A and B are shown apart, each in its own frame.
Chain A
Amino acid sequence: MKYDVVLAGVGGQGVLSVGLVLATCARADGFEVKMSEVHGMAQRGGSVNATLRISDAPIHGCLIPQGTADLVLATEPLEALRYASELAPTGTLITSTEPHRNIPDYPPIEDLLRRILALPRAITVEARRLASQAGSTKAVNLVMAGAASSLVPIRPSTFETQIRRVFGTKGDRIVEINLAAFELGREAAQCVAA
């Protein structure tokens, strides 16, 4: 079994944090994990991508061959579309619908969403709205992780344990917000997928 994820978004959005949540949980479930990151120039508000590979056998490298990703997980719709071509024929795209407009020629959002939904398997979530519903827009990464959770080969209970473990030091309230954000993301993705 191997599961390859391309993470996409805008530098500074927390693309790596989403990946780290998934990587930590996959590791806790006993999988081999490799994750590539981007640092430096690439982080300054530009388009960024990272890769996460999960497997029950040794993983040779962190890069995912073109057109073979099982999941493209994007925190931003324009970036989702930019990396959609990484998808394998059976792959799924999950993206947040909320645009991050930091360039003058940002395309009309309806246009982007229409093109995203025309893909064979696309799931959209209103990540920021759900995060603030959960109690903090900072939890947007957990919404995205939640949205991906029913597709990645990680046990649901592992997510809960790890969220409690990682955020435990920051107090109960933060744990509850992140758990709620995760649940909302999970439900939103399942509704669309169903």
Chain B
Amino acid sequence: MGDEAVALGAVHAGLTAAYAYPGTPATETFEFLLGYSKRHGHPVASWCANEKTAYEQALGVSMVGRRSLVVMKHVGLNVAADPFINSAIVSVHGGLVLAVADDPGMHSSQNEQDSRFYADFARIVCFEPADQQEAYEMTRQAFEVSERYEIPVMLRLVTRLAHSRSIVYAYQEEAEKPLDKARDPASWTLLPSHARGLWRRLLEVQPELVALAEESPHNRLTLSDHDRGLGIITTGIARGYFLENLPELDSSPSHLHIGVYPIPVAKVRALAEQCDRILVLEEGYPLVERQLRGLLPTPLLVQGKESGDVPLAGELTPDAVRQALGLPCRPISVPAVEDLPPRPPQLCPGCPHRDSYNALNEALGDYELSIVNADIGCYTLGAAPPFQAIESCVCMGAAIGMAKGAADAGLHPVVAVIGDSTFLHSGVTPLMDAVAADCDMTLMILDNEAIGMTGAQHTVLSSSRLEPLVLGLGVDPDHCHVVEARPANVQKLADVLRHELEHHGLSVVIPVRECIEHVKRRRKEAKA
């Protein structure tokens, strides 16, 4: 799997420690590292409370001269954006690589943002592998580049690479780096007086980064002698879709493939000199296309997502690329069957969230108007029939803040629904706000003792430590209840909720039962 190729590449690069928060499609990189670490006693591999804490721990490893890897999904980088952007300014010491997996097509995400923009924004190097073998090799190179230029390096994957399997050939392992603390604390202390100098240093190194991209064998320019009309630029996995269609083109056009950013300007110019028109094929947002196009008209015609030649939303496919290349549609042999009922994902039979939602729906039945702000996890599936129990899902932890806002605005009753892991990820700080204001809302922390959606990983804190944490934040013990979530208990849970909805102040109800997938995982791990 592409995810696993990254993990193996990192291990073979002498990795000391890896940090992550689970998120599709990035989870498997870390699962591989956890397994490896269990078998070999190294590297350090720990699930973290969230992506920001993960990134900061990796920075600490780098500061003492060793190599670290941080793994997250694209939206996780929003959470880790603060340490990420600032880490571009410090003088990274031990190689620091951020492997981030984007999810174009939103197979299991709330958006399809493109992490390459973050790399561009931070002015660092970004590797974008086109296949599993490149994922392995680029991970290893990323560590070297990180140390050579003292910057963090991004490795950008997309779902179709992260979750597809292929053979990877590995080579000679490197030894772990010795402990070697960064000599100059000033290059790690972003006081304005230091930061100005460090920022200038990062700007000064930019031409070197462009030169690295120009010379990289991953950025390959093939000029065609006979076809001077069309030029193609591909990035990452789009190359595969282009090559798949290539045999059907009349002649093979000039082609530049980009696998390392910043954009290799000279190579792009060399391509442009050969052609009247350039078609940009890239997975994600149109990053390269936008830079090529600029604002002012040029004689060169640039085609891609912005121009409408490739769909702007959704995942890139071989068929979309075929169309953009002007190849005729394939004849349809079996027409698509339109009248089939959809089969959306749903909560597992016997899932504890089912009982929680049945109870919540019953308790809210008495009110004409109410609001339920929920969050990200399996329980988001409670938005669909038969439950239709929740009304929002925006980003990790948003449930609590949004509920407080709705209560502040005057609505009653207000319910926030969040899972235990999402609560630990980003729910503790908004709960502090709610405690400070003794906000008139009821928070349900659905404690399934696991991160269900991504494959039932263990949460960072065990379930028994959830209630003391909530009470420690200052929630009134009289309005904090832990109730077992099982079918026989729905009535009891509904009664507790009813009572707390009527309490004009902050209440916390924690329905608890272990996720079914987690039970299975635990048994499997016990056997192994």
Contacts and interface: CB of A to CB of B under 8 A. Distances in A.
A65 B322 contact: yes
Contacts of A1: none
A60 B243 contact: yes
B341 A107 contact: yes
Interface residues of B, dominant DSSP: loop
Interface stretch (A29-37, A147-155, A171-179, A182-190): A29-37
Interface stretch (B79-87, B327-335, B416-424, B503-511): B327-335
Contacts of B344: 46-47
A27 B165 CA distance: 11
B62 interface: no
A10 B24 contact: no
Given A61-B241, A65-B318, A44 B378 contact: yes
Nearest to A79: B343
A47 B346 CA distance: 10
Interface string B431-469: 000000000000000000000011100000000000000
A166 interface: no
Contact of B166 (A33, A39, A67, A85): A33
A40 B343 contact: no
Nearest to A37: B163
B163 A65 contact: no
A81 B332 contact: no
B257 to A, nearest CB: 12
Contacts of A61: 160, 237, 240-241, 244, 318
Given A32-B167, A34-B165, A39 B240 contact: no
Nearest to A27: B167
Contacts of B61: none
A85 B337 contact: yes
A47 B24 CA distance: 17
A34 B381 contact: no
A10 B349 CA distance: 14
B394 interface: no
A85 B333 CA distance: 7
A85 B335 contact: yes
Contacts of B160: 36, 61-63
Given A10-B343, A78-B341, 16 more contacts: A36-B160, A40-B25, A41-B345, A41-B381, A46-B344, A46-B345, A62-B164, A65-B330, A67-B332, A67-B333, A78-B340, A79-B343, A82-B340, A85-B336, A87-B334, A105-B341
29 contacts: A27-B167, A33-B166, A34-B164, A39-B25, A39-B27, A39-B28, A40-B27, A41-B107, A41-B453, A44-B348, A45-B345, A45-B346, A47-B344, A60-B239, A60-B240, A60-B243, A60-B244, A61-B240, A61-B241, A65-B244, A65-B330, A66-B319, A66-B330, A67-B334, A82-B337, A85-B332, A102-B346, A107-B341, A119-B334
